[in-house]
Structure 1
Amino acid sequence: MDTRRLLRTGGIAFAAAALLLSGCSDSGGPDRENRPDASSSAPLSDNRVTGAARALEPLPREIPAGLRPYYEQKPDWKECGVAGFQCAELRVPLDYDKPEGTEELKLAVTRKKATGPGRRLGTLHVNPGGPGGSAVDYVQNAAGVGYPAPVRARYDIVGMDPRGVAGSEPIECLTDDEMDSYVQTDVTPDDRGEVEELVGAFEEFAKGCEKREGGLLGHVSTIEAARDLDILREVLGDDKLTYVGASYGTFLGATYAGLFPHRVGRLVLDGAMDPSLGSRQLNLDQTAGFQTAFRAFLEDCVRRDDCPLGSGSTEEAAGRLDDLLKELDARPIGTGTSRKLTESLATTGVLNAMYTEYYWPRLRSALTAARDGDGAELLTMADEYYDRAADGSYGNIMYANPAVNCLDLPAPFKGPDEAEKAVADFRRASSVFGRNFAWTALNCTYWQHPPTGEPRRIEAKGAAPILVIGTTRDPATPYKWAEGLAEQLSSGTLLTYDGDGHTAYVRGSDCVDSAVNDYLLRGKVPEDGTRCS
């Protein structure tokens, strides 16, 4: 029930909970976009036409007088979390157009100082995607302890939760019980009544967000998050930004480069998004991306003795999953709890497993159990996607995700009739997931705040070399998005990982890791077009 599938990193960051995306990344990462002073411009009339996207213009080099107090603040670092980590708050203006007369936001920041040996190279900022993924959690549970030792030795590893996310004025929209009902809504409506029910769920979700977070919802754009990142860069004493962004985090990093090309240091954009695309095309591309990943899963599955979808062709196996989902639509099955496994929850559980091939054995087991009438495993996988804890509480990501997406780009459809007409296109992209993706793209149609962003090419003219990474069978950020971003960036270099799963760095490829480490530690950019497997 999100705008796009969560754009979250599939790497070490959330190995235990396997955060997804709308794409998240998202966010995106890959994912959406707002523009600051440029954000007041009218959206493109057809956000499906990527060639029409205008270039994102950089901001002036001089820091405006009204922003100087923010750039000159001194963070109060305190020990936090596990040993070796520090936390602080960063003050930023709610509204960059009125920094002197606006409310302030306090953003959560954490760091793990460089461990040595070797000369400290500065700060390495990281963002795991979403939009809505917590960079603080990512640093404390993954990057700060799991990034390659030579990188941690030379850099302070820093993560800041973007505005509206986790520890940074987190957006809330529904109660936990209301969220349970929301995620069970049928997103493949079969008649007018089910369409009205779906529209009603989107309307209630949007109203819930507006009721609780009205003032903040107009100021959680990627443009504003990039400007917050520049304040943090200055506060930490770095002349240039060094950054690793995954999934939607690539959109945030690319937006930063477009706004501040003269302050770009070493940027790694892993699982890249294409900022020149409108929301309809992004959703279509992601539908095809999940189909590509699902086909890879099926090719692996049908060769195994324990494949619950049979041992025939991948088309036959896909048909069997489609049949299972139709059965669940008619008759949800038990899970050993008060909650039933519905078609929508089962589909989410399957999509969860597409983010990393390490989940494929788990998906085979879950599908086998569901075929036999037990939906517990698939429900658990869906709960992980939605960041639902065992006690029934939900995290913030499923609220922050549409809040950013719906502000960054105009909605793909004006109403249910347009979504219904688009189903055929989406089903051509994926016979299994197409209807789901087409109808869930209606979410932003009912958002209470008009979008402030539009598709933009990001060229970042004059920026230092930027490393863009694409994975050939990435479900959430299709490979062609990385090609598109690398082509747009005036200093972009494309590194390709020929493999499965979402993102590539620190996911088991020595080739990818060596290339990224050489770039971060020595500034050595791999040859454009380098391929790893």
Structure 2
Amino acid sequence: MRPVTRNRRSHGRAALRAMTAAIAGALLLAGCDLLPVSGGDDGASDGGSASSSATASPGGSGSDLPLAELGTSAAMDLPTDPATDPAYEAFYSQRVQWGPCEADVTADASQAVECGTVRVPLAWNDPSGQTIDLAVVRVAAGGEAKGSLFVNPGGPGASGVDFVAQNASYIFSQPMRQEFDIIGFDPRGISRSAGIECLDDAQTDEYRADTYDGSTDEGLARSVEWMKKIAAACEEHSGAVLPYLDTYSAARDMDVLRSAVGSEKLDYLGYSYGTYLGSSFADLYPERVGRFVLDGVMDPSITGDELTEGQAGGFQHAIEQFVGFCLEQQECALRGPSVEEGVEQLEALMDSIAENPIQTSDPDRPLTGALASAGLSLLLYGDENWSFGVTGLNAAANGDGTLLLMFADLGAERSDDGTYTGNALYSILAVNCLDHPGIADFAWQQKETERLLEKYPAAGITAYSQTMCDQWPVKPLRAPAEIHAPGSDLIVVIGTTGDPATPYQWAQSLDAQLDNSVLLTFEGDGHTAYGRSGGCIEAAVDAYFLQGTAPADGLTC
């Protein structure tokens, strides 16, 4: 395995914390269980107007079978530009009133943060109706600010407030922090921004720990049962918000955020799902695209089923790379000697834990198969953290699941006291079920599951995302479609060749779709590049943000 040069900012628990914010929920919907054990720690990472139906595209895992029936997004096909419509003046005339943050916003000790809120319409086609408040945070520029740089860490479901408050000094260079106000925000439905509420903490623990094989009839029935239970709880506690959590609605919100800090154009860095949010903004408001960077790209033109297959291939590769790394270490619970044999040994270890959960430092919480899979899958997002995975595997092989449980809890935003600090486990379902329709034919999903498990056996990913979303109280709202953003300023697209969650091909696809873009490539393993590539990507992106210097198209690091 080719060694990857690491950025000095990408190491240790700080790197793991930053990575976690970008991947909370990780995989798409249900049935996405690495190292085939199944359980509650499912979920994913992640244009055109919605229509009553859609057909899958012919490529990848596509079919000529129809996609699930679509509803209509309240944020699409508005008769006017809201920024110039008097009906929306109350929203566009706002300015953020920065002040002290609430106690639940934990900031890195090296940086001062300020917080505020911005009001937006719940339904974008009803500006006189119900409103919601979006939470925002600012790390003010060290010098005279040349602009405001908005950041979204992904998910969908990750808190941008927490990401920026905890990681701005770690992710961004001193020149970037000197010249930009770095701004994070929680998109609608997430955390502090009218965050949806679903299962309580004890039920969430049960959901995450439940272990079963999602490729079997019994396991699929269990998955559907959990999805029904989650959907009912979300509807009971947050039903008024659920129909308005699609990404086009969140992209409309970003235009109000732009206005609320006094920017004519939106300067933006989006990771993972944040690229989908960013490209959606560019689709709606190409003339307001400022300096725009999309890292770890989700392709807006693919179906939910093609998204699932892309991630299956990405995680198959990541597992093989991780096993190869483990076999090179002085101590590894896997014996090999080949990577193929090591993968089989890893699967056997995970199956053993699934059948007989092992003890942890918490006598009430043994490490189940689902939790072990979740803990290890978190670490596959960054090769700089694979050593933690080796240590965790070694401990688990010796009967101690404490470390893998800690990683599983970190990815799920669970605190030591048993409370969950965010709602990513559920908001990811709420957003993805609206954004990514899949093929509605159940027999096709069964055959596709068999194909995926045969082609990508280590990933253990199944094709039942639409079956899960059929239980959701709201129909999908968006058909897959290319985004061109005609007339936009330059958009910088970044792909990582060994990215498990957003395959490199998706970055190539979005770059080909956009009218004005360049593609940067990081040759390495792990999810996203900026802040962990070793300096090359960072230098090109910083020059673009700071001086407006366009990166060379095709730059490879």
TM-score, normalized by length of structure 1?
0.89
- Trace 1:251-290 onto structure 2 (pairs within 5 A): 251-290=276-315
CA distance in 2, matches of 1:322, 1:30: 23
CA distance in 1, matches of 2:299, 2:475: 22
Note the alpha carbon deviations across 1:147-206, whole angstroms, 9 max, x for none. 111111111111111011111111111011111111123352475433322221111111
> CA 1:441/1:177 → structure 2, altered by over 3 Å: closer, same or farther?
farther
CA distance in 1, matches of 2:15, 2:424: 13
**What is aligned with 2:377?**
351
**What is aligned with 1:65?**
86
Of stretches 211-220 and 391-400 in structure 1, the one that deviates more from structure 2 is 391-400
**What is aligned with 1:4?**
none
Q: Secondary structure at the match of 1:530?
A: coil
Q: Secondary structure at the match of 2:241?
A: helix
Q: How many residues align?
A: 511
The structure 2 residue matched to 1:322, chosen from 338, 343, 347, is 347
Q: Is residue 2:124 matched to residue 1:114?
A: no
- Trace 1:205-224 onto structure 2 (pairs within 5 A): 205-224=230-249
CA distance in 1, matches of 2:430, 2:303: 17
The structure 2 residue matched to 1:332, chosen from 357, 373, 382, is 357
Contact 2:315–2:500 (8 Å) recurs in 1: yes
**What is aligned with 1:400?**
427
Task: Report the alpha carbon displacement of residue 350 of structure 1 after superposing the two structures with TM.
Answer: 1.6
CA distance in 2, matches of 1:350, 1:145: 24
Q: Secondary structure at the match of 2:307?
A: helix
> CA 1:390/1:443 → structure 2, altered by over 3 Å: closer, same or farther?
farther
Contact 1:30–1:248 (8 Å) recurs in 2: yes
**What is aligned with 1:303?**
328
Contact 2:319–2:459 (8 Å) recurs in 1: no
Note the alpha carbon deviations across 1:342-399, whole angstroms, 9 max, x for none. 2222211121110111221111111122222222222222111211111111221111
TM-score, normalized by length of structure 2?
0.86
CA distance in 1, matches of 2:44, 2:353: 31
Name the aligned partner's letter for residue 16 of structure 1.
R
Q: Is residue 2:166 matched to residue 1:104?
A: no
Contact 1:341–1:379 (8 Å) recurs in 2: yes
Q: Is residue 2:123 matched to residue 1:95?
A: yes
CA distance in 2, matches of 1:371, 1:460: 51
CA distance in 1, matches of 2:293, 2:337: 41
Q: Is residue 2:163 matched to residue 1:138?
A: yes
The structure 2 residue matched to 1:248, chosen from 269, 273, 286, is 273
Q: Is residue 2:26 matched to residue 1:23?
A: yes
Q: Secondary structure at the match of 1:267?
A: strand
Name the aligned partner's letter for residue 428 of structure 2.
N
CA distance in 2, matches of 1:166, 1:46: 33
**What is aligned with 2:55?**
45
Note the alpha carbon deviations across 1:302-336, whole angstroms, 9 max, x for none. 22221211141110000001112222232222224
> CA 1:28/1:505 → structure 2, altered by over 3 Å: closer, same or farther?
farther
> CA 1:186/1:311 → structure 2, altered by over 3 Å: closer, same or farther?
closer
CA distance in 1, matches of 2:43, 2:491: 20
> CA 1:70/1:190 → structure 2, altered by over 3 Å: closer, same or farther?
closer
CA distance in 2, matches of 1:440, 1:329: 23
**What is aligned with 1:5?**
none
> CA 1:15/1:362 → structure 2, altered by over 3 Å: closer, same or farther?
closer
Task: Report the alpha carbon displacement of residue 440 of structure 1 after superposing the two structures with TM.
Answer: 6.3
Note the alpha carbon deviations across 1:50-86, whole angstroms, 9 max, x for none. 8999xx9997556222112100123322133656321
Q: Is residue 2:437 matched to residue 1:410?
A: yes
Name the aligned partner's letter for residue 124 of structure 2.
Y
Name the aligned partner's letter for residue 388 of structure 1.
R
CA distance in 1, matches of 2:27, 2:413: 12
> CA 1:84/1:377 → structure 2, altered by over 3 Å: closer, same or farther?
closer
CA distance in 2, matches of 1:484, 1:468: 10
Sequence identity percentage: 38
Contact 1:185–1:198 (8 Å) recurs in 2: no
Contact 1:250–1:273 (8 Å) recurs in 2: yes
- Trace 1:500-519 onto structure 2 (pairs within 5 A): 500-519=525-544
Structure 1, gaps ≥5 residues long: 1-9
- Trace 1:442-461 onto structure 2 (pairs within 5 A): 442-461=467-486
Note the alpha carbon deviations across 1:429-451, whole angstroms, 9 max, x for none. 421222x4445674323111111
CA distance in 1, matches of 2:407, 2:137: 29
**What is aligned with 2:70?**
none
CA distance in 2, matches of 1:194, 1:29: 19
CA distance in 2, matches of 1:22, 1:428: 24
> CA 1:25/1:507 → structure 2, altered by over 3 Å: closer, same or farther?
farther
* Displaced runs of 4 or more, over 6 A: 10-14, 25-30, 50-53, 56-59
Q: Secondary structure at the match of 2:17?
A: coil
CA distance in 2, matches of 1:57, 1:28: 26
Name the aligned partner's letter for residue 363 of structure 1.
G
Name the aligned partner's letter for residue 498 of structure 1.
E
Name the aligned partner's letter for residue 88 of structure 1.
G
> CA 1:133/1:527 → structure 2, altered by over 3 Å: closer, same or farther?
same
> CA 1:29/1:334 → structure 2, altered by over 3 Å: closer, same or farther?
closer
Name the aligned partner's letter for residue 42 of structure 1.
S
